[in-house]
C-alpha cells in the first residue's frame, strides 16, 4: 500500500478525513494522516512565514506545525475548544518520510468517496488560488474542498528542492534570506541608539 498520490490522477476513490476551517469544510486523504492530537503549546520559530506556526514535540520527534488558515489566507482568529492538530506523513524522494502537523478548527468525519463523486477544482480566474485544491465533492449535505495535501506541505517541507528547478530556487531563497537578515540586524542596531 502506498500513500503516494500519483500526480496525473489526483482524483481518487478512497477515504478522506474531513475537517473545518472557519465555516468551510475540507478533506484530505486518510492515507496521509498519521494521527490527530489535541492542540498543545507550540514553540514559535522566529523569522518564519506566518503560516508556519512553530514546532511541537510529538513523542520525542520535533515536527513543524502549519496554520492552514494562514496558509489559505483565511481570517485569523482564536482556536476553539475543538481545534486540533492533524499529523500527516509525507513521502519524500528516496523513501524519506516527513511528519508535519496542521492546525484545523475541528475534525469532522471520515468519508468514503468515489472517483465519480469528485469534481475537478473550479477555476476562479486567479483568486482564490486553486493550486492546492484537488477537487470538490458534495457529501453529507455540504460541499467539501479536497486538498492536495502533499503539495501544501511539500511547499514548506522543502522536499521540492530535489526537483530540477530546485537549485536556483534555493539559491534565490538563500540570497534573500541573507539580505533580510542583515537588513534586520542593521535596523535593530539602529534601534539600539541610546
Interface residues toward other proteins, by CB under 8 A = 41, 43-48, 52, 54-57, 59-64, 92, 96, 98-100, 156-159, 170, 173-174, 177, 181-182, 184-186, 188-194
CA distance 81 to 2: 34
CA distance 40 to 188: 32
Q: Hey, what's the cell of 92?
A: 519524500
Contact 28, 88 (CB under 8 A): yes
Taking the least distance from each CB to other proteins, the nearer of 75 and 191 is: 191
Measured in residues, the chain has a length of 194
- Residue among 24, 23, 28, 27 nearest 5 (CA): 28
Tell me the C-alpha distance between 75 and 82, whole Å: 18
Shortest gap between Cβ of 108 and other proteins (angstroms)?
A: 27
Instruction: Write down the least CB distance from residue 99 to other proteins, Å.
Output: 8
Smallest distance, other proteins to C-beta of residue 148, A: 18
Per DSSP, what are the bridge partners of residue 58?
61
Please state the closest distance from residue 50 (CB atom) to other proteins, in A: 11
State which residue, 24 or 156, has the beta carbon closest to other proteins.
Answer: 156
Residue (146 or 154) nearer to other proteins, CB: 154
User: Which CB sits closer to other proteins, 80 or 193?
Assistant: 193
**In angstroms, what is the minimal distance from the CB of 66 to other proteins?**
9
Closest distance to other proteins from the beta carbon of 192 (Å) = 5
Backbone angles phi, psi at 187, to 5 degrees: -65, -30
Looking at the DSSP bridge assignments, the partners of residue 21 are 24
Edge-to-edge order in the sheet of strand 97-104: 33-38, 84-91, 97-104, 61-67, 52-58
* Identity of the residue, 3 or 20, whose beta carbon is nearer to other proteins in the bound complex: 3
Whose Cβ is closer to other proteins: residue 23's or residue 61's?
Answer: 61
Amino acid at each position: 500500500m502506498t500513500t503516494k498520490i500519483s500526480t496525473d490522477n489526483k482524483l481518487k476513490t478512497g477515504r478522506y478525513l474531513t475537517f473545518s476551517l472557519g465555516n468551510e469544510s475540507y478533506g484530505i486523504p486518510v492515507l496521509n494522516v498519521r494521527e490527530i492530537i489535541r492542540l498543545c503549546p507550540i514553540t514559535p520559530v522566529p523569522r518564519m512565514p506566518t503560516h508556519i506556526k512553530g514546532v511541537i514535540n510529538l513523542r520525542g520527534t520535533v515536527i513543524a506545525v502549519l496554520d492552514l488558515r494562514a496558509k489559505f489566507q483565511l481570517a485569523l482568529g482564536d482556536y476553539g475548544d475543538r481545534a486540533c492538530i492533524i499529523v500527516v506523513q509525507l513521502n519524500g524522494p528516496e523513501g524519506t518520510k516527513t511528519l508535519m502537523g496542521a492546525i484545523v478548527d475541528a475534525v469532522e468525519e471520515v468519508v468514503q468517496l468515489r472517483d465519480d463523486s469528485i469534481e475537478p477544482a473550479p477555476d476562479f480566474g486567479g483568486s482564490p488560488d486553486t493550486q492546492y485544491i484537488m477537487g470538490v465533492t458534495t457529501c453529507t449535505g455540504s460541499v467539501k474542498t479536497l486538498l492536495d495535501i502533499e503539495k501544501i506541505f511539500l511547499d514548506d517541507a522543502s522536499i521540492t528542492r530535489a526537483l530540477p528547478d530546485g537549485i536556483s530556487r534555493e539559491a534565490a531563497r538563500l540570497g534573500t534570506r541573507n539580505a533580510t537578515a542583515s537588513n534586520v540586524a542593521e535596523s535593530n542596531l539602529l534601534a539600539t541608539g541610546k
